[in-house]
Amino acid sequence: MKYLITDSQLDKVIFKYLDNQDFIQIETDDNIYFTNSEGDEHAQIRYDKRNGVCYIYWKLIQEISHFFSIEYSDSEQVIGRWSENSLQMKVSETYFVGHSYFYLLKFN
C-alpha cells in the first residue's frame, strides 16, 4: 500500500524523529553542537553562530535518508530546517561533512 504525504507532513514526522534523539546542545562562543551525549567524541550537528551555517554529520543524513526513503539532499535540508526550528536561529546554508571535521572542530 502506498501513501501520499505532503512535504510539511514529512517535515513534521522527521522533526519528531529528531526530537526523540534527545540531542544534547553544547554551546560555545561561536558554535552550538548537537551531540548524542556529553562525552561524545564528535557532534551530529554543528551550528556556526557567526554565519548561520549548519554542518551535519554525513551518517545522520544517511540515517534520515534511509529511514524515510528520501534523497540525501532532502535529508540535509530537513535537518537544517529542524536545526533552525530547534535553535530559533536562521540557518543560512547546510553542509554534510565527515567525522574528522567534527572531531577537529569540537568545542573550538
Residue 46 cell numbers, joined: 554543528
String of DSSP letters for 9-54: HHHHHHHHHHHTT-PEEEE-SSEEEEESSTT-SS-SEEEETTTTEE
Q: According to the model, what pLDDT value does residue 104 have?
A: 42
Q: According to the model, what pLDDT value does residue 60 have?
A: 95
**What are the phi and psi torsion angles at 41 (to 5°)?**
-75, -25
Average pLDDT over residues 79-94: 96
The share of the chain scoring above pLDDT 90, in percent, equals 71
> pLDDT per residue over 20-63, tens digit each?
999 999 998 999 999 998 777 788 999 999 999 999 999 999 99
Q: Domain limits of the chain?
A: 7-105
pTM of the model: 0.86
